[in-house]
Amino acid sequence: MASLSYSKRGEWQELIIALNKNIIFVNPNDLQIYKEVTIPEDLTKCDIIQIESHADDDPQPNTKSKSTPIEPPTIQHVQLSSNGCILAVTTSGQKALLLYQCRPEHAKLVSIRSLARASSAINFTANDKQLLVTDKTGDCYVFDCENYQLPGKLILGHLSVVYDVLLTPDDKYVITCDRDDKIRVSNFPNCHEIEGYCLGHKEFVSAIKLLPFDDKILLSISGDESLKLWNYRDGTKLCDFKLPAPGIKCALRQVNETTCQLAVLLYQPNESIAEYEITKNTAGVCHIKELSRHCFDSIIVSGICYVAEKLYIVGIKNDRFVIDIANGGGDKSDDSSKVLAMITEYFQNEAPKPDDVSGWFRKQFDNVTEYYERKKRRIEEKTSKQDDDTV
């Protein structure tokens, strides 16, 4: 699965694209790939400190046979710290968290710490000193980004897959969302103290964001085809908006002090993206309106992000990597076209795998109807037998 993210610090900006084992850094205003990262083929042979168990009280120790072939690592999640100094990468195959120290022209691998299970989301704390990693069994761990010898610490757990995690800017609360339609707000770092829940979705909650113009308001999208805004402190629902299809991923960009733009990747056979405008009036009330929709008949979209006013997408087309600008249409500048062509050429020999999200939806089992049908037949048979005996 290809991933896409964007970072801006002052005048410096960078587009980060990851696929399989490679990560590239591109300045959208430049025509050069200025930094490349390739994860090792075998993490167990790296000449740096590795921690085999990420927690002293890991309830499920590794029981694999030593003779079992080692599956090579593949990139799952990538995130750059807000100060641009640390690149965090999680891998599948050999499940691990890799930390890189970043410089303008290179990145140095400084830490490898094993993960018990495949990651489902990652996010830095506001001060970039810690990293949260959630996994597909609902656990959330915190890793130190300064002392690389410290193992991860389990801080909270859900009963189902956690699809997204974030911390508030003051690092007081960690907010998580899961497959069981829950959004949980926990105190940080004492996450056993639950501040509250934001409840109201009827399907998995796939993504959560804090609004850029008001970080007290939480945005969520869900498989129940809804977009909701919350006061996450007391769990109050502020706004409910109907999406045209289940929401899978989203991207935000701030327009001004009271307006932001939202892009939602929708789950449907014809992959599409809907863009919305979220505004807050002088009374503090938020309003949502749809701006546009973009359809991609032949592209399986796996990642979206805003770069200034442009909405970039990455995905798969004819079993090959593709990157495009969704809202650029035929008006792409020559520079934009060259950047897209350069990135596409870099990954031309890669074979990306689509991310199957069909398993995110709840399976509905109707055993009540069958029960009543059997009961009805038994009553009819009993009545018929009594009638025969009477005759």
Phi-psi region of 10 (alpha: psi -120 to 50; beta: other; left: phi over 0): left
Res 103 pLDDT > 90: no
Q: Report the amino acid identity of residue 191.
A: C
Least confident of 233-237, 239-243, 347-351: 347-351
Residue 33: inside a domain, yes or no?
yes
Residue 29: inside a domain, yes or no?
yes
Q: Rounded distance, CA 375 to CA 16, Å?
A: 60
pLDDT at residue number 335 = 72
pLDDT at residue number 218 = 98
Res 376 pLDDT > 80: no
Tokens found for residue 49: 């400190």
Higher pLDDT, residue 384 or 180 = 180
Tokens found for residue 190: 């004492």
Q: Rounded distance, CA 199 to CA 282, Å?
A: 27
Q: Rounded distance, CA 58 to CA 74, Å?
A: 24
pLDDT at residue number 188 = 95
Q: Rounded distance, CA 231 to CA 226, Å?
A: 17
Residue 344: inside a domain, yes or no?
yes
Mean pLDDT throughout 34-38?
93
pLDDT at residue number 389 = 66
Tokens found for residue 382: 């009993």
Mean pLDDT throughout 62-70?
55
Residue 265: inside a domain, yes or no?
no
Write the burial class of residue 371 (CB in 10 Å: 0-12 exposed, 13-18 middle, 19+ buried): exposed
Mean pLDDT throughout 253-258?
95
Phi, psi of 96 (to 5 degrees): -155, 160
Give the pLDDT band (50/70/90) at residue 57. very low
Give the pLDDT band (50/70/90) at residue 58. very low
Res 340 pLDDT > 60: yes
Give the pLDDT band (50/70/90) at residue 261. very high
Residue 76: inside a domain, yes or no?
yes
- Residues 182-191 have pLDDT tens digits of 999 999 999 9
**Please, which residues bridge with residue 19 across strands?**
22
Element (H, E) at 342: helix 334-346
pLDDT at residue number 390 = 65
Q: What is the per-residue burial (b if ≥16 Cβ within 10 Å, else e) of 138-163?
A: bbbbbbbbeebeebbbbbbbbeebbb
Res 66 pLDDT > 70: no
Phi-psi region of 341 (alpha: psi -120 to 50; beta: other; left: phi over 0): alpha
- Residues 140-149 have pLDDT tens digits of 999 999 999 8
Residue among 81, 51, 68, 218 nearest 145 (CA): 81
Name the percent of the chain lying above pLDDT 70.
88
pLDDT at residue number 391 = 59
pLDDT at residue number 364 = 59
- Residues 307-319 have pLDDT tens digits of 988 999 999 988 8
Give the pLDDT band (50/70/90) at residue 30. confident
Average pLDDT, the chain: 87
Decide if 201 contacts 221 (C-beta within 8 A). no
How many of the other CB atoms lie within 10 Å of CB of 252? 16
Q: In what order do the strands lie in the sheet with 247-256?
A: 247-256, 259-266, 272-280, 286-295
Residue 103: inside a domain, yes or no?
yes
Domain count, the chain: 1
Which CATH number is 344's domain given? 2.40.128.630
- Residues 286-311 have pLDDT tens digits of 999 999 999 987 888 999 999 988 99
Residue 249: inside a domain, yes or no?
no
Higher pLDDT, residue 56 or 344 = 344
Residue 107: inside a domain, yes or no?
yes
Largest CA distance in the chain: 97
Q: Rounded distance, CA 213 to CA 189, Å?
A: 25
Res 366 pLDDT > 60: no
Give the pLDDT band (50/70/90) at residue 258. very high
Higher pLDDT, residue 227 or 10 = 227
pLDDT at residue number 308 = 85
Least confident of 40-49, 83-92, 312-321: 40-49
Higher pLDDT, residue 108 or 269 = 108
Residue among 197, 184, 307 nearest 253 (CA): 307
Res 195 pLDDT > 70: yes
Provide the domain limits for residue 136. 3-56+71-199+293-390
Decide if 156 contacts 186 (C-beta within 8 A). yes
Q: Rounded distance, CA 305 to CA 292, Å?
A: 16
Give the pLDDT band (50/70/90) at residue 61. very low
Q: Rounded distance, CA 223 to CA 356, Å?
A: 14
Q: In what order do the strands lie in the sheet with 205-211?
A: 205-211, 214-222, 226-231, 236-242
Residue among 284, 301, 288 nearest 249 (CA): 301
